[in-house]
Amino acid sequence: MTITDAPKIITRRFDTPDSHTITRYEETGGYQALRTALGSMSPAQVAAQVKDASLLGRGGAGFPAGVKWGFCPPGVWPRYLVVNGDESEPGTYKDRLLMERDPHQLIEGVLLASYAIGAAQAFIYIRGEMALAQERVAKALNEAYAKGYIGKNILGSDYSIDVVMAWGAGAYIVGEETALIESLEGNRGMPRLKPPFFPAAKGLYMQPTVVNNVETLSNIPWIVSNGGETFAELGAEGSKGTRIFAVSGHVKNPGVFEVEYGVTTFRDIIYAPVYGGGIRSDRALKCFIPGGASAPWFYEEHLDLPLEKATVDKAGSMLGSGAIVVMDDTTDAVAACLSVVKFFSHESCGKCTPCREGTNWLEKILRRILDGYGRPSDLDLLMDVADNISPGIAWPPKQTTICPLGPSAVSPLASALGRFRPEFEAHIARAARAEAASAPAQAVGLPGGVA
């Protein structure tokens, strides 16, 4: 096991009592990075530190933050920073803790990022259900305003900015950055088309907008205080620093763990006593989702891969939002698959046809198979419907949809059907036996009518 002695960066205050208050934050070095930046660094220098850190976005796509900041078209003002705190991917619950336990760290990160890109206003968008996070961030914003960290001429500098909090209404899709922007503008949370609406160029109110994840931004104060290069000394070649992973499912010790990025392996994080602690009742591993519900599944043979972006990508999945969901050998692959597909079908925003209709159709077919009404032709049908959502069913996925949500429902299906096809067939065979046993005159016992 490789449990490194890398320092904890963003979770380092988690165990401090009252870590969410400004007093405790200031006592533990809080707002010093902001002081340094506004006192002696230009915005470009702050941005350079983040670039040197090679900080990858922690929201799912893993895009380097420093590079993204550089995409704002020069000379176009005002610009905005939007903080994505909508965390709703099943199994992902790191941003919530970052907001609940260390809201000032996030706010300081927001201020530094805003300074670096020249944002006129920043918006912290928090998932609707996260009442405590909203309360803590709101309180922290008020404290920071009161102490002059936010507002006009911050700490006596020329820099002024307002930071406001907004919250969602319970839709997973507003985690997608363009849907989040729509929601912020007061519209239905539905994604915009990229192209042409790349937020960096045409984002909030059609102005250049940087959208970053809560965890991404929570790293910035440490990077500015300690230097981007220091950050980059941690981790592996393509994945620097530390990163939080949330381990859940059939493990003894579910939780969030900040580990050195790119070095720690799946086996470490699932089995090490300080992390997941192994499979419940010491049962056998059936499979695990390495990076959130939309990621293709991994199996036994992947356990020794490091938690490193490029490696996992190459192995056919992704680290995504850092949610590792473990399934033991008692899991019914069809039921697990249905559960994930159902999530995406339920969360489809309904804007585009393949996702709105297709994910729902997949869900209905899977439900039927699980309920014992499957037909042998259903497996090809599943794959063909999936193909119409994500042509080729490849990784990384192609899409006929507007955003990646639709294809997200295809990954678990492709994984489950690819690896556990016999389980599907067994459910269908059960249906065939039931049919044979029933009165011969009766037609196929489908729930509902035949189209």
Partner 1 sequence: MTDTAATPDAEVEPEVVPGVPVTIDGREIIADEGELIIDAAERHGIYIPRFCYHPRMTPVGMCRMCICEVDTGRGPALQPTCMLECTPGMVVETASPVTTKAQEGVLELLLINHPLDCRVCAKGGESPPLDQTVANGPGESRFVEEKRHKAKPIPISDIVLLDRERCILCDRCTRFAKEVAGDPLIHFINRGNDTEVNTFPDDPFASYFSGNTVQICPVGALTSATYRFRARPWDLEAVESTCQTCAVGCRMAIESSRNEVLRYQGVDIDPVNWGWLCDKGRFNFEALGSEHRLREPLIKQGDAHRQARWAEALGEAAAALQAALDAGGPERIGVIGGARLTNEAAYAWAKLAKGVLGTDNVDCRLGDSLPAEAVLGLPQATIDDACRPGGTVLYLGPDPKEALPVLYLRLRHALVHDGIGLVEVTPVRTSLSDHAAVVLQHRPGEVHTAVRALLHGIPQGQDAGGVDPDALDAARARVAAAAEAGTLTVVVGTQSVAESPQWVTDAAAALAEAYPQVRFLPLVRRGNERGALEMGLAPGLLPGRTTLADGAAWYRTTWPTVPGAAGLDTAGILTAAAAGQIDTLVLLGADPLTDFPDRDLATRGLDGARRIIALDIFLNPSVLQADVVLPVAAFGEVEGSTTNLEGRISLLNQKVTPPGTARSDWEIAAELARRLGSDLQVASTDDLWNEAVAMAPSLDGITLELLLSPDASDGVVAPLPAEATPVPDEPADDAADAPVAATEPDEDADADSDEDAEADGDSEPTGPSTPPMVAFSAAQPLDPPALDAYALRLVATRKLYDLGTLTQASPSLAGLTPGTVLRVNPYDFDRLGVVEGQTLRVKSPRGGVEVEIVTDATVLRGTAAVHTNQPDVAVNRLIDATQPVTDIRIETGGAA
Ligand X SMILES: Cc1cc2nc3c(=O)[nH]c(=O)nc-3n(C[C@H](O)[C@H](O)[C@H](O)COP(=O)(O)O)c2cc1C
Please choose which of partner 1, ligand SF4, ligand X, none residue 25 contacts, taking the beta carbon within 5 to 8 angstroms, the exact cut-off set by kind: none
Q: Which is nearer to ligand SF4, 196 or 447 (CB)?
A: 196
Query: Measured from the CB atom, is 273 or 396 closer to ligand SF4?
Result: 396
414 binds partner 1 per the rule CB under 8 A? no
The least CB distance from residue 111 to ligand X, in Å, is 16
DSSP string, 1-19: -----PPP-TTTTTTSTTT
Residue 264: CB minimum distance to partner 1, A: 34
- Residue 211 interacting entry, from partner 1, ligand X, ligand SF4, none, C-beta within 5 to 8 Å by type: ligand X
The number of residues that bind ligand X (CB under 6 A) is: 24
CB of 404 to ligand SF4, least distance (A): 7
Residue 92 C-beta: closest distance to ligand X, Å: 7
Tokens matching residue 186: 């007061």
Q: Which residue has the tokens 């009252």?
A: 18
Contacts of 286 (CB under 8 A, 6+ apart): 299, 327, 328, 329, 330, 331, 333
State the binding partner of 446 from partner 1, ligand X, ligand SF4, none, CB within 5 to 8 A by kind. Answer: partner 1
With respect to ligand X, which residue has the nearer C-beta, 213 or 225?
213
Draw the binding track, 123-162, toward ligand X (x: CB under 6 A; -: no contact): ----------------------------------------
Question: From the CB of 51, what's the least distance to ligand X, in Å?
Answer: 14
Contacted by 84, from ligand SF4, ligand X, partner 1, none: CB < 5 to 8 Å by type? ligand X
Q: At closest approach, how far in Å is the CB of 60 from partner 1?
A: 20
Q: Which residues pair with 247 in a beta bridge?
A: 255, 324
SS3 call for 81: strand
CB-CB neighbours of 359 under 10 Å: 29
Name which of 103, 120, 217, 108 is nearest 159 in CA terms.
120
- The tokens of 189 are what? 């949370």
* Long-range contacts of residues 297-305, Cβ cutoff 8 Å, at least 24 apart: 297/411, 297/412, 297/415, 297/416, 297/419, 298/266, 299/419, 302/266, 303/265, 303/266, 303/267, 303/270, 304/265, 304/266, 304/267, 305/265, 305/266
The pairs formed by 233-238 with CB atoms below 8 angstroms and a separation of 24 or more are 234/6, 234/7, 234/260, 234/261, 235/6, 235/260, 235/261, 235/262, 235/263, 236/261, 236/262, 236/263, 236/306, 236/308, 237/262, 237/310, 238/262, 238/308, 238/309, 238/310
Binding status of residue 322 toward ligand X by CB under 6 A: no
Residue 325: phi and psi, rounded to 5, are: -115, 120
Q: Is 88 in the site for ligand X (CB under 6 A)?
A: yes
CA distances from 346 to 4, 222, 362, 363 (A): 40, 38, 12, 9
Q: Does residue 402 bind partner 1 (CB under 8 A)?
A: yes
Please answer whether residues 426 and 309 qualify as being in contact, where contact means their C-beta atoms are separated by less than 8 angstroms: no
CB of 164 to ligand SF4, least distance (A): 26
**Ranges within 89-108 binding ligand X (CB under 6 A):** 89
Cβ closer to partner 1: 156 or 447? 447
Distance CA 400, CA 354 (A): 7
Nearest distance from C-beta of residue 171 to partner 1, angstroms = 7
Site for partner 1 in 328-387 (CB under 8 A): 345-354, 356-361, 364-365, 368, 381, 385, 387
Instruction: Give the residue at shortest CB distance from ligand SF4.
Output: 355
Q: Is the Cβ of residue 224 or residue 272 nearer to ligand X in the bound state? A: 224
197 binding ligand X? (CB under 6 A): no
Q: Per rule CB under 6 A, is residue 406 in the interface with ligand X?
A: no
CA 426 to chain centre: 34
Among 274, 300, 298, 296, residue whose Cα is nearest residue 285: 300
Q: Is 212 in the site for ligand X (CB under 6 A)?
A: yes
When binding is defined by CB under 6 A, the residue of 60, 189, 228, 354 that contacts ligand X is 60
Q: 112 vs 409, which CB is nearer to ligand SF4?
A: 409
- One-letter amino acid of 119: A
Interface contacts to ligand X, rule CB under 6 A:
57-61, 63, 65, 68, 84, 86-89, 173, 175-177, 211-213, 216, 403-405
For partner 1, the binding residues (CB under 8 A) are 171, 188, 193, 195-196, 345-354, 356-361, 364-365, 368, 381, 385, 387-388, 391, 398-402, 446-451
